[in-house]
Amino acid sequence: MSSVQQRVVDVAERLLERDRMVSPIGVLNGLGWLPESFCDRWRQGREPTLIEQMSVSPGRVPQAMQALETWARERGLRPTEVEYTSATRDHHPLRFTDGGDEATERAYRTHWLSPELTEKQVERFTERQSRPPELVVVSPLKDWTCMQCAGTGDLLIMEGEGPLCLTCAEMDHLVFLPSGDGTLSRRARKASKLSAAVVRWNRSLRRYVRQGLLVEESALDQAEVACLADEEVRARRRERDAGRRAGEDVEFQDRMAAEIGRVFPGCPTERAQAIARHAGARGSGRVGRSGAGRALDHEAVTLAVLASVRHEDTPYDELLMAGVPRDEARDRVRGAVDRVVTRWRLRVVRPDDDQQ
C-alpha cells in the first residue's frame, strides 16, 4: 500500500468511527489537502470549483479517490449520492471540477455510509445532506464596499466576485434577532420565508461565530406571540405544581407529626408539628426529606426529634458560636438531650415540665 493509500485509509477509518459516514471532501480535508476555509468560500459561491484549487499534485487526488472507493467497498459501506448546492440566494448546484465530467462529479458527491444504519437513518441522512444550506450574512470586522452600488453597511452577503450590501441583495427588509433564545430563533426561522444566519469572525477562535438570525418582521412577531403563550402555559403549570407540592408537603408533615406523637407521646402537639415542618421542608436536605424520612422510618423520626431538642432545649448553638468543636459540644449537651427525650418517650408532659 502506498503512503497516500495508507493515509486515506487512516483518515477514513477515523471519520467512519466518528460519523458512521465518510465523504470525499471529509477525507481530503483530513489529509490536509483541502482547507475548511476554502470549502466555505466554495459553498458561498465565491469559488467556481473545488478540486483544482488544492495545493497538491493533480495526480495524487485521483489516487486518493480510488483508494477511498476501494477501502469503502472492502468495508461493505453503502454508497449514497447527495446534492451540493451553494449558500447563495439561488442555491445553484456546486461543481467540484473544472471539466465537470459527470462520472467525476458523481464520485465526489458519493458518501459512504456504515452498513449498520437503518433504511430510515439513511433516508434522513440523504435528506439532510441534500438540503440547501442556510444563507450566511457576515458582520464584517473591516471596512468594505458593495461590488454593485459601491456602498457599505453593517452586514454583507458574499456572492460571486465579492460582497453585496443587504439592499442590493434585496434582504434589507429582514430584522436582526440576536442569539440566546433557541425556541424563539427556531420558530422565527420556520415562519420566515427568507432567513439568514449572521456570523462574525472571532480572531481568538480563528473561525466565524454565530451572532443571530435575519428574519422577516412578521415571522418574528408570530414567534414572539407563540413564545409568550408558552410562557403563560408554563407559568400556570408551575403554579399548579407548586400548589400540588405544597399540598403534598402539608400532608407529609402532618403524617410525620403524628408519627412523632406516636413514638414520643410526651412531646407537645405544637412541638411535634414544628419539628415536622422543619425536618420535612422541601429542598432543605434535612432528615425528613431523605428516603428514610419520607418513609417515616423510626430512626429518621428519632434523629429529627434529637436535632430539635439539641438546638432548642440546650445551649448547643451557643457552644458552637463560642468556638467549641462540634463533637465536644454534642458531648456536653448529651445529658440534657437524653433527659428531655426520655421524658417525651414515657409520658405526656405537663405545660410546666419543659420549664423545670
The string of DSSP letters for 210-231 reads: EEEEEE-HHHHHHHHHHHHHHH
Tell whether 167 and 290 lie within a shared domain.
Answer: no
CA distance 211 to 148: 26
How large a percentage of the chain has pLDDT more than 90? 44
Tell whether 117 and 155 lie within a shared domain.
Answer: no
Question: Can you read off the three cell numbers belonging to residue 80?
Answer: 449514497
Question: Can you read off the three cell numbers belonging to residue 213?
Answer: 438570525
Q: Is residue 127 part of a domain?
A: yes
Cβ count near 287 (within 10 Å): 20
For the chain, the average pLDDT equals 85
Tell whether 73 and 113 lie within a shared domain.
Answer: yes
Examine the fold and report which residue of 106, 132, 158 is the final residue of a domain before the chain moves on. Answer: 132
How large a percentage of the chain has pLDDT more than 70? 90
- The mean per-residue pLDDT over the stretch 75-83 comes to 92
Tell whether 191 and 249 lie within a shared domain.
Answer: no
Q: Is residue 238 part of a domain?
A: no
Tell whether 97 and 1 lie within a shared domain.
Answer: yes
- The mean per-residue pLDDT over the stretch 152-171 comes to 86
Q: Is residue 237 part of a domain?
A: no
List the 78-81 sheet strands across, edge first.
Answer: 21-22, 110-113, 78-81
Instruction: pLDDT band for 354, please (50, 70, 90 cuts).
Output: very low
CA distance 117 to 114: 6
Tell whether 126 and 45 lie within a shared domain.
Answer: yes
Q: Is residue 4 part of a domain?
A: yes
SS3 86: coil
pLDDT value of position 36? 83
In this structure, of 149-158, 244-253, 321-330, the range with the lowest mean pLDDT score is 244-253
Rg, Å, the chain Cα set: 35
Q: Is 74 exposed, middle or buried (0-12, 13-18, 19+ CB in 10 A)?
A: exposed
Tell whether 7 and 120 lie within a shared domain.
Answer: yes
Query: Is the per-residue pLDDT at 299 higher than 90?
Result: no
* 21 sits in which H/E element: strand 21-22
Are the C-beta atoms of 292 and 248 separated by less than 8 Å? no
- The mean per-residue pLDDT over the stretch 108-130 comes to 89
Instruction: pLDDT band for 107, please (50, 70, 90 cuts).
Output: very high
pLDDT, tens digit (0-9, with 9 covering 90-100), for 228-268: 888 887 887 788 777 766 665 788 888 889 999 999 999 99
Cβ count near 114 (within 10 Å): 17
The sign one gets for the Cα dihedral 44, 46, 48, 51 is negative
Examine the fold and report which residue of 166, 198, 215 is the final residue of a domain before the chain moves on. Answer: 215
pLDDT, tens digit (0-9, with 9 covering 90-100), for 38-75: 888 788 777 888 887 777 887 889 999 999 999 999 99
Instruction: Tell me which amino acid residue 18 is.
Output: R
Number of domains in the chain: 3
Q: Is residue 239 part of a domain?
A: no
Tell whether 112 and 62 lie within a shared domain.
Answer: yes
Q: Is residue 227 part of a domain?
A: no
Instruction: pLDDT band for 282, please (50, 70, 90 cuts).
Output: low
Which stretches of 90-216 are DSSP H helices?
102-109, 119-130, 182-191
- The mean per-residue pLDDT over the stretch 15-28 comes to 94
Query: Is the per-residue pLDDT at 350 higher than 60?
Result: no
Which residues form the domain of 337? 244-355
Examine the fold and report which residue of 132, 165, 183 is the final residue of a domain before the chain moves on. Answer: 132
Are the C-beta atoms of 12 and 68 separated by less than 8 Å? yes
pTM assigned to the model: 0.53
Query: Residue 22: what are its φ and ψ, rounded to 5°?
Result: -135, 135
Four-CA torsion 264, 269, 271, 277, nearest 10 degrees: 100
β 196-202/136-138 pair status: parallel
Tell whether 127 and 199 lie within a shared domain.
Answer: no
pLDDT value of position 99? 81
- The mean per-residue pLDDT over the stretch 157-175 comes to 85
Q: Which residue has the higher pLDDT, 249 or 114?
A: 114
Tell whether 201 and 297 lie within a shared domain.
Answer: no
Strand partners, 209: 200
Tell whether 31 and 66 lie within a shared domain.
Answer: yes
- The mean per-residue pLDDT over the stretch 281-302 comes to 63
Instruction: pLDDT band for 292, please (50, 70, 90 cuts).
Output: low
First to last CA, the chain: 96
Q: Is residue 316 part of a domain?
A: yes
- The mean per-residue pLDDT over the stretch 282-296 comes to 54
Tell whether 8 and 118 lie within a shared domain.
Answer: yes
Q: Is residue 112 part of a domain?
A: yes
Are the C-beta atoms of 28 and 34 separated by less than 8 Å? yes
